[in-house]
Amino acid sequence: MSIEGNLNRIKEKLGKSTKLVAISKTKTLAQVMECYNAGQRIFGENKVQELVAKFEALPKDIEWHLVGHLQGNKVKFVAPFVSLIHSVDSLKLLQEINKQGEKCHRVISCLLQIYIAVEETKFGLDEEEAFSLLESEAFKQLKNIRIMGVMGMATNTDHQEQIQSEFRKLKQFSEKLIHTFASGLHPFSQISMGMSNDYEIAIQEGSTLIRVGSSIFGER
Ligand SMILES: *Cc1c(COP(=O)(O)O)cnc(C)c1O
């Protein structure tokens, strides 16, 4: 199917409260433009260099999200334009984002990446680490970041119940964070979960941002 056909098929499944982030990593500018011309405006990349190159080359009304692991020394390249960083997994990284946000007079929106999968390799904070980060004095001093919510990646498995229970866990954790920490500055209302193989479950479980690549653009 065409990129436009794929996009429309996914958009039909989005409820009122879920948005689609089209993950364009490894795809060409022409492919991104095809998706843009079909109406998509939110795109995500997992590598800083590729994100910057695409931002520079493509229309300026695109909202660019960073979804991959971010190294501190690369924050400065995305700070001037990034709309949402999905993958914050330490106070140290948050401090660097804050510092770079200050330099370009921006408040940068971020999600805390929470560890929900059984796999050992996935990045993220566990619930306890997220709580202690948010309770710390150092966090309270950061004025150039805004925590919009949480992000999680389910275990890569065909086992639907497993995925569902991991997404459910993230939703419950999100509710706990909202209850404890939400404010005008840190609304915490966003839940980024769901990729090509599990976005339908994620929508059911309350995702507000699904991150879909190969189901739109084809296999990488
Ligand atoms: C690549 C990637 C996606 C999209 O994966 P697909 O399976 O192609 O939909 C989503 N989130 C992150 C963090 C990714 O790196």
* pLDDT at 73 > cutoff 90: yes
For residue 80, the model assigns a pLDDT of 98
Q: Which one, of 187, 201, 105, 216, lies nearest residue 153 by Cα?
A: 201
| Residue-wise pLDDT tens digits, 108-117 | 999 999 999 8
For residue 118, the model assigns a pLDDT of 82
Determine the distance from the C-alpha atom of residue 183 to the mean position of all C-alpha atoms in its chain, rounded to a whole number: 20
Q: How is residue 191 written in tokens?
A: 């839940």
Query: Which residue did the predictor score with more confidence, 157 or 1?
Result: 157
The residue to mutate among 67, 193, 197, having the most atoms of ligand 1 within 8 angstroms of its beta carbon, is 67
Tokens 């879920």, residue located: 18
* Closest ligand 1 atom to Cα of 215: 9
Number of domains in the chain: 1
CATH of the domain at 204: 3.20.20.10
* Residue range of the domain that includes 58: 3-217
Q: Hey, which residues does 45 pair with through a beta bridge? A: 66
| Cα 33 to Cα 192: distance, rounded to the nearest angstrom | 24
Does ligand 1 come within 6 angstroms of the Cβ of 192?
no
pLDDT band at 1 (very low <50, low <70, confident <90, very high): confident
Radius of gyration of the chain measured on its C-alpha atoms: 17
Does ligand 1 come within 6 angstroms of the Cβ of 212?
yes
pTM score, whole prediction:
0.97
* pLDDT at 120 > cutoff 90: no
* Closest ligand 1 atom to Cα of 220: 8
